[in-house]
């Protein structure tokens, strides 16, 4: 089947053989091969439309922006450090 599809792509089939090859495209596997081969041919010829980088960039632009909250640990560490500094300052003033 793959040889027949390949020959069809290359324009080497006519008549009944071409009809048989076209009928085989009703099968999902054959259709997938056909699409892959055409994509490979387009890329080799430079006819691939938009580049991979442009598609990735577009997909990233479509992604929602997620703002992550600050970790609670940083706030707790800051509070402990501030408390310790205040205690040291109080001891220095009193003592």
Number of domains in the chain: 1
CATH code assigned at 60: 1.10.10
Q: Is residue 94 part of a domain?
A: no
Q: Is residue 79 part of a domain?
A: no
Residue 2 to residue 44: CA distance in whole angstroms: 20
pTM summary value: 0.42
Residue whose tokens read 């324009």: 11
Among the listed residues 31, 26, 27, the one whose alpha carbon sits nearest the alpha carbon of residue 9: 31
Q: Is residue 54 part of a domain?
A: yes
| Chain centroid, CA 12 distance in Å | 37
Q: Is residue 76 part of a domain?
A: no
Domain range for 44 is 2-69
| pLDDT tens digits, 4-60 | 878 877 788 888 888 888 888 788 888 888 888 888 887 787 766 667 778 888 888
Q: Is residue 65 part of a domain?
A: yes
Please report, for residues 87, 89, 92, the alpha-carbon distance to residue 84 in angstroms, rounded to integers and kept in the order given: 5, 9, 12
Q: Is residue 6 part of a domain?
A: yes
| pLDDT tens digits, 44-90 | 877 666 677 788 888 889 998 888 877 666 777 888 888 999 999 98
* Average model confidence (pLDDT) across the chain: 81
């Amino acid at each position: 089947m793959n040889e027949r599809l390949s020959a069809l792509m290359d324009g080497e089939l006519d008549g009944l053989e071409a009809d048989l090859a076209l009928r085989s495209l009703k099968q999902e596997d054959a259709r997938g091969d056909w699409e892959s081969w055409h994509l490979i041919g387009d890329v080799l010829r430079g006819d691939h439309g938009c580049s991979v980088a442009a598609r990735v960039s577009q997909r990233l632009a479509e992604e929602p922006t997620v703002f992550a909250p600050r970790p609670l640990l940083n706030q707790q560490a800051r509070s402990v450090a501030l408390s310790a500094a205040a205690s040291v300052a109080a001891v220095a003033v009193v003592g």
